[in-house]
Amino acid sequence: MKSRKIPLNVKLIIIMTVVMLSVIGLKYLVEAGNKEQITINANYDLKQYMPVHESQINIDEIIQNNKNNISETIETEEIDLDYITKYNDNPELPKGLIQVIQEGRNGKQQAIIKKTYENGNLINEEQIGSKVTKSSIDKIVEVGTANYKSTYKIKIGDTLYVTSNTLILRTEPDINSENVAMINKNDSAKLLEIYNDWYKIAHNNEIGWVNSNCMTYINPNQKYEEGGNLGQKSKAELLSKLSYNMSLNKPSGLSLEQFKKIFENEDKDKKGIFKNNAQYFYYIEKQYNINGVFIAAVGVHESAWGTSKIATDKNNLFGYGAYDSSPYNSAYNFADYSEGIDLVARVFVKYYLNPAGTRIYESETATGKYYNGPTLNGINKRYATDKRWANSVYKWMEYLYNRL
């Protein structure tokens, strides 16, 4: 039987139909939420499927060949939904004393991540959507504001008191260990052992481990008179540790008064945002082992001293949560500036400043997902696309230190 030659125009229609169906199929997979990785490669060569008579159609005008071999992937990842910290003043506690009233718990969210590769190397990733699968629980902290301080150091054998509304006694110094009992606020217990951020205590007839931030030596039924003063490092001593390559996973050592001083009478702080929130840069140092001046400098740089629209409208000094495609709409909205300062500090500690597995705060361990060293240069590798971000932040760190 003699074969019939298919006309060129018919071949073109068939081929373009196949291509269109393939594109529609890919779109359906993405919209259906398929969790498998979908790769979109700009170098995929469709010319092999086109007719040989290229003089009749310019294939290069239809398919742009990416000479840099750039590809993108859309992936779904389950990540932590970090809790928010709420700060409340307590005028009956010594100035600067921090007590946890409710322990925070991270939730879970499914994040949709767009990753861009060049020659097989990851050059950018952007979160383009998310869905909460498990809600987080706020951490609630009381901070002493009385006009005296305390220099008392807790030791083995002391009688301590519960500050949290309810506190879980655990079998091991691990948030995931089994529960022994629930202890109520103001209950007393004897301190048996100290391990990192955990206390081993004896309460009634039970022994177990609790979060040390949820216990205090202060008897809730006893009033305290004005006591001693905490030591304060000099400006010269603090400046001697300042350098571009300093480790930022350590507190600056500034006192509460010194944090307030560096923002006093600052003309650039036109709205008084940093002056009115200076204490929170001190509180994050006490809880998370991070340089609070560094966090303040990041806020100054990212928000132009609190004047950016995101900072003004959303109490977000860091542009935290903003996607490149829609920075204002996607940026987190905080109830007040303290929430953003606390959250961003924990994000740096958990993802950027410590290697994976490092014990950090409240029995958490660092993921080290973006860790390249605890310095400004190390953070800059994954935190900001601007290669001079680290230099800009350090300029503000120097400025703030010199205001002491």
Query: Does 17 reside within a domain?
Result: yes
Whether the CB-CB separation of 314 and 331 falls below 8 Å is answered with yes
Strand partners, 169: 181
Residue 237 lies in a domain: yes
Of the residues 190, 216, 242, the one at which a domain ends: 216
**pLDDT score recorded for residue 389:** 96
Structural domain contains residue 116: no
Cβ contacts of residue 183 below 8 Å, gap of 6+? 162, 166, 167, 168, 169, 189, 203, 210
Answer yes or no: is 156 within a domain.
yes
Look up the domain containing 50 and give its range. Answer: 8-67
The tokens for 184 are 């109520």
In this structure, are 254 and 335 located in the same domain? yes
Q: Are residues 244 and 322 in the same domain?
A: yes
Q: Which of 216, 246, 263 is the C-terminal boundary of a domain?
A: 216
Q: What is the pLDDT of residue 218?
A: 81
In-domain check, residue 359: yes
Residues 202 and 63 in one domain: no
Question: Are 94 and 151 contacting, i.e. CB atoms less than 8 angstroms apart?
Answer: no
| Judgement on whether residues 157 and 240 belong to the same structural domain of the protein | no
* Rounded Cα–Cα distance for residues 46 and 172 (Å): 60
Rounded to the nearest 10°, the torsion over CA 150, 154, 157, 163 is: 80
Of 38, 67, 96, the last residue of a domain is: 67
Residue 358 and residue 373: Cα distance in Å, rounded? Answer: 13
What is the predicted pLDDT for the residue at 62?
41
CATH of the domain at 247: 1.10.530.10
**160 is a domain residue:** yes
Instruction: Clarify whether residues 241 and 379 are in a common domain.
Output: yes
Same domain, 335 and 194: no
Q: Which residues of 269-305 are buried (b: 16+ CB within 10 A; e: fewer)?
A: beeebbebbbbbbbbbbebbbbbbbbbbbbbbbbbeb
pLDDT for 81:
87
Q: Given this model, what pLDDT does residue 61 score?
A: 43
The reply to whether 111 falls in a domain is no
Q: For 334, phi and psi rounded to 5 degrees?
A: -100, 150
The region that residue 96 occupies, defined by phi over 0 for left and psi between -120 and 50 for alpha, beta otherwise, is left
DSSP class per residue in 374-389: SSHHHHHHHH-S-TTH
Per-residue pLDDT, 9: 57
Assess whether 254 and 381 both reside in one domain: yes
Q: Examine the domain organization and report whether 362 and 330 are in the same domain.
A: yes
Residue 372 and residue 242 share a domain? yes
Q: How many domains does the chain have?
A: 3
| In a domain? residue 89 | no
Q: Rounded CA gap, 164 and 158, in Å?
A: 18
Q: Are residues 363 and 290 in the same domain?
A: yes
Same domain, 158 and 286: no
On whether both 277 and 351 belong to a single domain, the answer is: yes
**Tens place of pLDDT per residue across the chain (404 aa):** 444 555 655 555 666 665 565 555 555 544 544 443 433 333 333 333 333 444 444 445 444 435 568 888 988 888 888 899 999 998 888 887 888 888 888 899 888 888 888 888 888 888 888 888 888 899 999 898 887 777 778 889 888 989 888 888 999 998 888 988 888 888 889 999 999 889 999 988 899 999 888 988 887 765 443 333 345 688 888 998 999 999 999 999 898 999 999 999 999 999 999 999 999 999 999 899 999 999 999 999 999 999 999 999 999 999 998 887 788 998 999 999 999 999 999 999 999 999 999 989 877 899 999 999 999 999 999 998 889 999 999 999 999 999 98
